């Protein structure tokens, strides 16, 4: 069953999202972007681990990067373990690089470009962001069910993890 076919219940959601020690602290700008991205995910999400033995949520998620892999540690609100999934960051490298380049172009365009040019760049930015979100959904398939909006918000976090500031 793909994520698109799943009906999410009231407890199929994240109530907490943190970063593991492997992420470390960064510049104030990066820390702010991380906080905003976490807020956006927690504000509205549909998230449910997949499997016959998975207990009902809500869930907590801790993201870490270990050996160039994204580690998702999923627990219940009482911190009891649910699942740990490890995803290679390789499939995201090009998308994240493209996303950063387009974002840079967008921020430069805001200063001097016409409205039409800005809108064109923004459409391209959203397209790359959607591609990253779809890639994340594919990588999570069979592990964690999320809707597209939640995948978009989580992909933003993957990007923020790569941002050096």
Q: What's the pLDDT tens digit per position in 14-48? A: 999 998 765 656 667 667 777 888 899 999 999 99
Does pLDDT of 85 surpass 90?
yes
Q: Is the peptide bond before 58 cis (omega within 30 degrees of 0)?
A: yes
Q: How confident is the model at residue 2 (pLDDT cuts 50, 70, 90)?
A: very low
pLDDT in the model for residue 22: 57
Residue-range domain boundaries for the chain: 3-162
Identify which has the larger pLDDT, 55 or 24: 55
Q: How far is CA 20 from CA 23, 37, 72, 139, in A?
A: 6, 16, 10, 20
Sign, CA torsion 14/122/102/110: negative
Please tell me the pTM assigned to this model: 0.84
DSSP assignment of 14-41: EEEEEE-TTT----HHHHHHHHHHHHHH
In this structure, the chain runs to a length of 165
pLDDT tens, position by position, 104-130: 888 888 889 999 999 999 899 899 999
d(CA 149, CA 131): 13
pLDDT for res 1: 42
């Amino acid at each position: 069953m793909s994520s698109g076919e799943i009906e999410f219940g009231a407890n199929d959601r994240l109530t907490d999202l943190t970063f593991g020690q492997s992420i470390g602290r960064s510049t104030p700008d990066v820390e702010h972007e991380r906080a905003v991205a976490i807020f956006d995910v927690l504000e509205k999400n549909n998230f449910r681990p997949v499997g016959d033995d998975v207990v009902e949520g809500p869930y907590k998620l801790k993201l870490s990067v270990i050996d160039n892999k994204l580690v998702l540690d999923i627990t219940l609100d009482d911190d009891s373990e649910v699942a740990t999934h490890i995803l290679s960051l390789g499939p995201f490298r090009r998308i994240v690089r493209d996303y950063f380049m387009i974002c840079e172009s967008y921020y430069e365009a805001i200063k001097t470009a016409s409205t039409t040019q800005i809108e064109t760049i923004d459409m391209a930015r959203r397209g790359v962001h959607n591609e990253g979100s779809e890639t994340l959904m594919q990588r999570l398939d069979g592990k964690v069910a999320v809707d597209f909006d939640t995948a978009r918000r989580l992909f933003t976090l993957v990007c923020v993890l790569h941002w050096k500031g």
